[in-house]
Amino acid sequence: MTISIALRPLAPGTGPPAGTALPLAGGPLHFTLCEAVAREGAREISRSCIAPEEIPSWAARFGPEAVEQARRQAANLSAPRPAFAGLALERPRLMGILNVTPDSFSDGGDRFDPGRAVADGFAMIEAGADILDVGGESTRPGSDPVPEAEELRRVVPVIRALSDGGALVSIDTRRAGVMAAALEAGAGIVNDVTALTGDPDGLPLIAGSGASAVLMHMLGEPRSMQRKPVYADAPLDIHDFLAARVAVCEAAGLPRARIAIDPGIGFGKTLAHNLAVLDRLAVLHGIGCPLVLGVSRKSFMAKIVPGVAPKARLPGSLAANLAGLTRGVQILRVHDVAETAQALAIWSAIQGDWGKGC
């Protein structure tokens, strides 16, 4: 059976790196140790805490293929990320959530009117959003799909107006027909909860379009994903899934430089799974793509602090997003743009000019 390798930078820090410290994804954070895990299928066969220079000798125990995996991941851990959809990633970016649906879990109905959606989208840009993520179909747990014609009716006019106004727009969809119409209307990014597996026409469309893509992990599908989800090790299973999807996309002609990855918090995951994934997010840097984190207002927070309604989860959302930043996340997907932008500005200032020195 094939051996799979995963490397997780431990306790990324800021300030002037010392000794053998390496930059995390080319950014202001750096690390000096890695958790190195080898698995045979779902069975863990080794877990060690090692310095980066020890990675090749550690991996050699598992054969040449493992050495090559480890070499590639180690290089990805410290390599700078290229611009994503034209956005330089020398600082974290904000993706504002713009749902034009009647039934999304938090803001369903708030922006069902296209005029309101467009106005709110431009307000998000003014508040600090770098990307506007427009969605016309709720994928909350238990949701049913909407007809494609209705999804198109909801999203295309909004995308066209925002794009014509200079906004960088992402379309949140799993249908190739909606992707194509959104790109024609001016969208530059496709954000797919199925990681371009839900529609066989999606991947070749994006590969040939020049658009960028966000590949998200989801266990199952929205109607059933929360029915007893099971993992051998949630962070590592998600790492392996996303690494495999990136490889498939590259083989189909969608280059890694146009791909970002999202662990899919809340999509087929229990509270324990979500917390483990958030804690060990840094393992995904080994894939070599920008990380998108979408935790805003999600229901796992109400399992920790019972009774907190979705729109009252701003404090929890900020806490989870800041935890993501300390693990090197490059793009935060949020409902509350102005508040998150303020938190990001304060966090960045505390780092000391992005950790560039004394």
pLDDT score of 357: 46
Looking at CATH, the fold of the domain delimited by 93-355 is given as TIM Barrel (3.20.20)
pLDDT score of 141: 74
Residues of the chain with pLDDT below 70 are: 1, 14-19, 103-109, 140, 352-358
Residue type, position 231, single letter: Y
DSSP string, 166-196: T--EEEE-S-HHHHHHHHHHT--EEEETTSS
Q: Hey, which residues does 143 pair with through a beta bridge?
A: none
- Eight-class DSSP state of 91: S
User: What gap in Å lies between CA 213 and CA 309, rounded to an integer?
Assistant: 31
pLDDT score of 226: 81
pLDDT score of 28: 84
Burial class (CB in 10 A: 0-12, 13-18, 19+), 348: middle
Show which residues are catalytic.
Answer: 298, 333
Residues in the chain: 358
Spans of all domains in the chain: 3-78, 93-355
Q: Taking the model in full, what pTM does it have?
A: 0.94
| Greatest CA separation for the chain | 60
pLDDT score of 19: 59
Residue type, position 104, single letter: S
User: What gap in Å lies between CA 31 and CA 11, rounded to an integer?
Assistant: 7
- The token pair that represents 170 in the structure block: 């992402």
pLDDT score of 354: 47
pLDDT score of 15: 54
